[in-house]
Amino acid sequence: MIKRLFLGALFAFSVAMPAYAAKDVVPMSQGLHEWQTSSGKLILVVGSYQDVTSFHRSYNFYFKANGDQDWNQVPLVPKNGGMEFSWESASGGDVLLADAIVVPRKEGTFFVIASRNSDKGYSESGAASATWYKFVESDGSNPDQPAYSLQPVFTRPYGKVKNGVEEILAKEALLKPAR
């Protein structure tokens, strides 16, 4: 059911959007995904795990600079500091509580994470939000910072949501991050 809702929203999105956006918004399926930047290639490796009680995807970003063979790991830098070198979706029962998409725009490449609170149980409504992270390259002025990272740009609150985050991600794919 979740997959059907997400695919329906994605189809509606692809029909409603111009060719640029529909072609470039990538549903996060397993495998290797790539986006060209002016200085190299941003690479995302998505894997998944599923058993009878849970499902989640892991997201790992790398950057390969033009003319270089090294794959540099790209950490996600949460607002509260630190670095996460891998990010995982979350589900409970049939409800997708957290997942993400990559949204390439003229302004840059963004990783958008939608999440929903489940403190009162998976079947109960929970506060939801979507956070946009932008791929950035360090200018080298701060040697304590990673050369490449996903930095938080904006969080959009959604209030209480009963279902999973698929519809939020479909909506976010149409929007731009606010500052």
Q: How confident is the model at residue 5 (pLDDT cuts 50, 70, 90)?
A: very low
What pTM was estimated for this model as a whole? 0.81
What is residue 166's three-state secondary structure?
Answer: helix
In Å, the largest CA–CA distance within the chain is 51
* Of 102, 116, 96, residue with least CA distance to 159: 116
Provide the residue ranges of all domains of the chain, joining segments of one domain with +. Answer: 2-174
Tens-place pLDDT, residues 43-80: 999 998 888 877 888 999 999 999 999 999 999 999 88
> Could you tell me where the DSSP H helices lie in the chain?
2-16, 19-24, 166-174
Whole-number Å distance between alpha carbons of 37 and 149: 14
Go through 21-57 and write b for each residue having 16 or more CB atoms within 10 A of its CB, e for each that does not.
beeebbebeeeebebebeebebbbebeeeeeeeebbb
Alpha helices in 27-158 (DSSP H): none
What was the pLDDT predicted at 7? Answer: 38
